[in-house]
Amino acid sequence: MATRKKTKIPEADARARILAAAAEVFADIGFAGARVDEIAARAGVNKAMLYYHVGDKEHLYATVLTETIDRVPPVLRKALENVHTPAEKLQCVLDTMATLPTSNPHFVPIMLREIASGGATLPDEMLVRMAAIFRVVSDVLAEGTTSGDFRATDPLLTHVTLVGSMLFLVASQPIRKRVAKFAGVPHTHTLEDLARHTGNLVLHGLEVPKKRRVRK
Amino acid sequence: MATRKKTKIPEADARARILAAAAEVFADIGFAGARVDEIAARAGVNKAMLYYHVGDKEHLYATVLTETIDRVPPVLRKALENVHTPAEKLQCVLDTMATLPTSNPHFVPIMLREIASGGATLPDEMLVRMAAIFRVVSDVLAEGTTSGDFRATDPLLTHVTLVGSMLFLVASQPIRKRVAKFAGVPHTHTLEDLARHTGNLVLHGLEVPKKRRVRK
DNA sequence: CCTAACTTACCAACCAGTTGGTTAAACCAA
DNA sequence: TTGGTTTAACCAACTGGTTGGTAAGTTAGG
């Protein structure tokens, strides 16, 4: 309720409501499918006000993107603070990634669509931020490799595999439920399950260690 | 050039050209962004002819989807014919998936976008086909588990992780190149590299086997 | 002369962005 | 304190270009 400098009661920060509504709509139907009127309506704001507060559709989209991704690196770094072995750090990264869609459910579909379109419209601003996230993960990988815990892999490919798996697993949840029905297998997984499965798979691999192997 | 039944020279199968053009445009900008006029133009066909041959935009999209995914299971099964150990089969699945975007470059972005939208518009027809692909992979996983080569994992999650990694790796190639520049790391990978990396990661995992581990 | 294949010309709905205002809070000079 | 001025916040109504879809006709093979 705190009034700012001057002006007539700025209707509980319209800008924030517009960005939230935009994230929702962009996530649901993508940039091309999103309607500015729909965003304005969901934000409970006149369309002209949307243009007044954040500019045109393209700028609105870019703002949603950057303001969302900016929250990721600090969260990742904070989560890693009290974790020490490389394997634990990697699992921590995955666990944290799995929590992101809880606090920010619209980020995953938006990014997936960006990937799908080859990032044709991704501004350099976003790439800088993606590189920042990559660096956090690649530091963990490098630490694991030099400490002798991890095998040496291409860090960029490994990072993309991790992020891709998590994004895909999270985003595919509704479809997975339907596919599971058709394939006749049960399906009940939490976000933590997804992170655990990915961590387990990527850390230990599928193969049974030779010594423990039991051929029948 | 072969003329079919009757009619006035059916302009070298307009329907096929329409579907090809549609796949292109849907892959580039998604269903909502795609313009029917653009698709018709790329197919070298009058817009009214597009409606005459394949019906409205929605039906056109559904047709592209099903006709594309239908090619996957036979290719997978054929590729698996001459491969025998579970590990080799799994790598074969990944290799084959990596070849798909070569023969059909539009499938990956289209599927990624479908995942992003939670499959809200995915017809049951598609789910049946996705379940068919899942069954091929899950058979390989099950075989590996019962033979003692693979650890037991949730087959659905593992399948989705594999497919997701491959789709994501392939689709993210252009963005990866740009991110690599910002992160200051080199970047040159072929589709085979992607399949090999994923196979290596998922089969053997990141962790160095205890016996071989060298702490410094 | 019938019918599949093809075309032109058109339309109504839609949609991003703008115009031309109103309102009231804040500021300021007397 | 007052009353005039400025300015941020807000809005209804409009604009003009776009777009999915169609109607009504043409062409030519059988």
pLDDT in tens, A172-203: 999 998 888 877 888 889 999 999 999 989 88
Protein-contacted bases of chain C (C-beta within 7 A):
4-9, 14-20, 23-27
To the nearest whole Å, the CA of B153 is away from the closest chain A CA by 8
**CB within 8 Å: B175 and A115:** yes
Proportion of chain A above pLDDT 90, given as a percent: 68
Burial of B82 (0-12, 13-18, 19+ CB in 10 A): exposed
**Helix B72-80 and helix B86-103: axis angle, to 10°?**
140
10-residue stretch averages of pLDDT, chain B, 216 residues long: 43 87 96 96 95 96 93 90 91 91 90 92 88 92 91 92 93 90 84 92 75 46
For nucleic chain D, give residues with Cβ below 7 angstroms from it: A 4, 6-11, 14, 45-49, 52-53; B 3, 6-9, 34-37, 47-48, 51, 56-58
Alpha-carbon dihedral B59, B60, B66, B70, rounded to 10 degrees: 150
pLDDT of residue A174: 92
CA angle A166/A171/A172 to nearest 5° reads 100
Alpha-carbon dihedral B186, B192, B197, B199, rounded to 10 degrees: 170
pLDDT of residue B104: 87
pLDDT of A112 > 50? The answer is yes
Alpha-carbon dihedral A81, A86, A88, A94, rounded to 10 degrees: 80
- For residue A209, the chain B residues in CB contact (below 8 A) are 209
Checking each nucleotide's C1' against the CA of A46, the nearest proves to be: D11
- 3-class DSSP state for residue B38? helix
Query: Which of A 5-24 lie inside 8 A of B, CB atoms?
Result: none
Checking each nucleotide's C1' against the CA of A37, the nearest proves to be: C15
Is B131 part of the contact surface with chain A (CB cutoff 8 Å)? yes
Summarize pLDDT for A128-155 with one digit per residue, the tens. 999 999 999 999 999 999 998 888 999 9
Q: Which of A38 and A215 is assigned the larger pLDDT?
A: A38
pLDDT of residue A5: 39
Is A137 part of the contact surface with chain B (CB cutoff 8 Å)? no
Residue A185 C-alpha from the chain's centroid: 28
Q: Per DSSP, what are the bridge partners of residue A150?
A: B207
Per-residue burial over A92-107, b = 16 or more CB atoms within 10 Å of its CB, e = otherwise:
bbbbbbbebbeebebb
pLDDT of A17 > 70? The answer is yes
| CA–CA gap between residue A153 and residue A63 (Å, rounded) | 35
pLDDT of A215 > 50? The answer is no
Token readout for A88 is: 């634990």
Token readout for A18 is: 């517009």
B172 φ, ψ to 5°?
-85, 0
| CA–CA gap between residue A27 and residue A109 (Å, rounded) | 5
* Amino acid making up residue B175: I
Residue A206 C-alpha from the chain's centroid: 26
| Helix, strand, coil tally for chain B in percent (to 5) | 70, 0, 30
- 3-class DSSP state for residue A122? coil
| CA–CA gap between residue A122 and residue B179 (Å, rounded) | 11
| Local confidence band at A164 (pLDDT 50, 70, 90 cut-offs) | very high
pLDDT of residue A8: 55
Under a CB-based contact definition with an 8 Å cutoff, are residues A89 and A143 in contact?
yes
- 3-class DSSP state for residue A7? coil
Q: Whose CA is closest to A107, among A134, A78, A71?
A: A71
| A45 CA from C20 C1′ (Å) | 19
Ramachandran quadrant class, A56 (left: phi over 0; alpha: psi -120 to 50; beta: rest): beta
pTM, two decimals, is 0.88
pLDDT of residue A208: 63
